[in-house]
Amino acid sequence: MSKMAAEGGGKEMNEIKSQFSTREGAYKLLTHSEYSRPNRVPFNSQGSNPVRVSFVNVNDQSGNGERICFNVGRELYFYIYKSVRKAADLSKPIDKRIYKGTQPTCHDFNHLTATAESVSLLVGFSAGQVQLIDPIKKETSKLFNEEGLLSSQNQASSPSGTVV
């Protein structure tokens, strides 16, 4: 036992620190999920591009039926989600998409048709488009409002004059 520990003035010498500071900078022990976070998109908590998260349960035989989808900037990720206590392996996404010119702003799964082999995911974009994808099959089915005629700022009307 060290002299300081014996005197009650400190902790044991062999204690593992989770963070410390030196004149070069501060160091912190990272969890697996923090360490393996996709690092091409810098984290900016003040930015106007919030991260959105969607969950779906596909009832597969392995017991890992939960799936998670989230966006970071122009990237959309799809993973197996195990639990809050056990982080997803961020180095192995089921599907990852990088969009150019526009970015995902919202997404949601069709919970009624989700299976272990296929799941429908609707993704809304900053330019007004809506895309239907299947991240398990890695397929893109449809792109709606491709011209961006409908947005939250305006309403389009049909040739008959009715509001769409």
**In angstroms, rounded to a whole number, what is the distance separating the alpha carbons of residues 115 and 34?**
30
pLDDT at 70 over 50: yes
What pLDDT is recorded for position 137? 92
Inter-residue contact 52 to 106 (CB < 8 Å): yes
Indicate the CATH number for domain 51-144: 2.40.10
CA distance 89 to 79: 8
**Per-domain residue ranges for the chain?**
51-144
User: Does the model's pTM come out above 0.75?
Assistant: no
Asked whether the predicted pLDDT for residue 35 surpasses 60, the reply is: no
Q: Please state, rounded to an integer, the average pLDDT across all residues of the chain.
A: 75
Q: 36 is written with which tokens?
A: 């393996």
Residue range 71-122, pLDDT digits in tens:
988 999 998 887 766 766 778 889 999 998 888 999 999 999 999 899 999 9
